[in-house]
Amino acid sequence: MAALLLAGTTLIGSPAAAAAAPVTIAYAQRTQTWQLVLTNGDVVEVPEALAKAPKNAVTPGERAPFLVSGDGKHFFYFRKSDGLFVERTLNGKERVVSRRLTAYTIYEEWPAVSDDGSYVVTTTSAPGVGIFADLRKGKVLPPPGHTDAWSFMGFSSDGKRLLLAEDERLTVFDRGLRARTRLKTRLAPTALANDYVTAAVPVGTWLKSRKLRLVNLRTGRASGTVTVQLPRGQYIDDLDFDKAGRVIVRSKTGTGVAFYRVSAATGKATLLRTIARPDAEVWVLPGDSPYEAWTERKGRA
């Protein structure tokens, strides 16, 4: 199937093809340029998206992040014309996320996007946080407490809350960066449920974890550790909650990625779906962070 060209403000192709285009993105892939693969199988080229950091960047030649929101409706990239990080929908105009976030900082600053595509947070190599951009309001907010010493742990699955850590303190913030819940703990959760209280914590060596536990961010009470019953050779590569508050695990397989619903009580893993890896150098699923375990054909050294 021939690729459509995404440029300017609308899809360029036949009127029938544009009218039939679905509203969601199945995944993005990079061959010579970045492309969107839609849920109906159409391929849409994004010629304005940088593939690699430019020569004047901190890390020239490194892969340029390309993100798709968890709902599959928004995509984000560093554009070639000026290196700014922008947001798009399939039939929408580019919106600059923040003029402080440029291609110069690729691989020194990592953007994370809420599931609804309306909020962007960056973490940095400092370590710490960079920007908090609320795209609905068109505002870039200063870090809470005017310090960048926070570690960003993740969004709630509805995108209305942000989980940040500072030393041994976890704080749940709303989108205006007002603190809602605080807890002192040594646990490091990476996912927040829509009750804004329940968080999931991977247990074990990073990228080799098969265990998790839950923690109540209001009381500090943690569940026992459970082993997720994944197939041999698979691990917890990404941990999240669905809208109903059930734990979701994504795990790299030999042919792509598998999605599981996991019982936090027993560790039983129910396979929801699998996605086969396309024949592309890099691919990105909705909800991915910039550098997931499955994004490149070969793992980074």
User: Tokens at residue 256, please?
Assistant: 């792509």
Q: How many CB atoms lie within 10 A of CB 62?
A: 13
Q: Tens digit of pLDDT for each residue in 173-208?
A: 999 999 999 999 999 999 999 999 999 999 998 778
Contact of 66 with 76, CB cutoff 8 Å? yes
| Whole-number pLDDT of residue 207 | 79
- What string of pLDDT tens digits covers the 301 residues of the chain? 445 555 433 333 334 444 454 569 999 999 889 999 999 999 999 999 999 999 999 999 999 999 999 999 999 999 999 999 999 999 899 999 999 999 999 999 999 999 999 999 999 988 889 999 999 999 999 999 988 899 999 999 999 999 999 988 999 999 999 999 999 999 999 999 999 999 999 999 877 899 999 999 999 999 999 999 999 999 999 999 999 999 999 999 999 999 999 999 999 999 999 999 999 999 999 999 988 878 877 644 3
Q: How far apart are the first and last CA of the chain?
A: 35
51 DSSP 8-state letter: S
Residues 6+ apart with CB under 8 A from 104: 54, 56, 57, 58, 83
Distance between CA atoms of residues 292 and 298, nearest Å: 12
User: Burial letters for 166-184: b for 16+ Cβ neighbours within 10 Å, e otherwise?
Assistant: beeebbbbebebeeebebe
Distance between CA atoms of residues 140 and 154, nearest Å: 18
Q: Kindly report the CA angle at 235 between 258 and 288, in degrees rounded to 5?
A: 55
Q: Tens digit of pLDDT for each residue in 4-22?
A: 555 433 333 334 444 454 5
Q: Which helix (H) or strand (E) holds 17?
A: helix 15-20
What separation in angstroms does the CA of 233 have from each of 203, 205, 207, 228, 236?
17, 14, 11, 12, 11
- How far, in whole angstroms, is CA 190 from its chain's centroid? 12
* Residue that is written with structure tokens 């798009």 in the block: 88
Distance between CA atoms of residues 232 and 147, nearest Å: 43
Tell me the HSE value of 83 on the side-chain side, using a 13 A CA sphere.
15
Specify the length of the chain in residues: 301
| Whole-number pLDDT of residue 23 | 64
pTM for this entry: 0.89
Contact of 237 with 250, CB cutoff 8 Å? yes
| Whole-number pLDDT of residue 5 | 52
Distance between CA atoms of residues 57 and 43, nearest Å: 30
Contact of 165 with 151, CB cutoff 8 Å? yes
Q: How many CB atoms lie within 10 A of CB 86?
A: 19
* Residue that is written with structure tokens 């300017």 in the block: 8
